[in-house]
Amino acid sequence: MNAREIQEQIDNLNYWDSEVLQLGVDYFGDEVTIVFDNTKLLFTGCIQVHINTDPQDRKIPIKTLTRKQLPYFMQSIEVTSFQTKSLAVVRFGGNKLPEPAEKFNLFKCKMLMPPLNVEIYCSSINIKRNII
């Protein structure tokens, strides 16, 4: 599936203003899971995960909040294509020289769920419906 097809599937979820119930990062950042309403987005083969929020958002530990107290509601999900090269580090004469290797076609996904912003670069996005 390409980025446009994934974006169409996500848009068809009518996710706007959905409660975000979970954001998990597992396996040293290889997988990211986001759950909202009755939908789960699973990002795998992740190479970068950026999570940004306002310091005010962390004054009270999130783990102490009840579901009704969680302040996150999905506002925007944008999926695009992204291409990068692998950098193999080669030792030559005591110096490390980066050597471009294989090209990778990845996805870049930006999500806005104020006060949280998430940006993920991954190799696949899986959408599961009716998980609750």
Give the pLDDT of residue 132. 64
Residue with tokens 């291409």: 83
Q: Is residue 1 part of a domain?
A: no
Number of domains in the chain: 1
- For 44-55, how does the pLDDT look when each residue is reduced to its tens digit (9 = 90+)? 999 999 999 999
Q: Which of 40, 49, 50, 33 is CA-nearest to residue 10?
A: 40
Q: Is residue 70 part of a domain?
A: yes
Q: Is residue 2 part of a domain?
A: no
Give the contacts of 122 (CB within 8 A, at least 6 positions apart). Answer: 32, 43, 44, 45, 46, 47, 106, 107, 109
Q: Is residue 57 part of a domain?
A: yes
Say if residue 90's pLDDT is above 70.
no
- How many percent of the chain have pLDDT more than 90? 65
- For 14-43, how does the pLDDT look when each residue is reduced to its tens digit (9 = 90+)? 999 999 999 999 999 999 999 998 999 999
Q: What domain range is 47 assigned to?
A: 8-129
Q: Is residue 101 part of a domain?
A: yes
- How many percent of the chain have pLDDT more than 70? 87
Q: Is residue 3 part of a domain?
A: no
Query: Rounded to a whole number, what is the largest CA-CA distance in the chain?
Result: 60
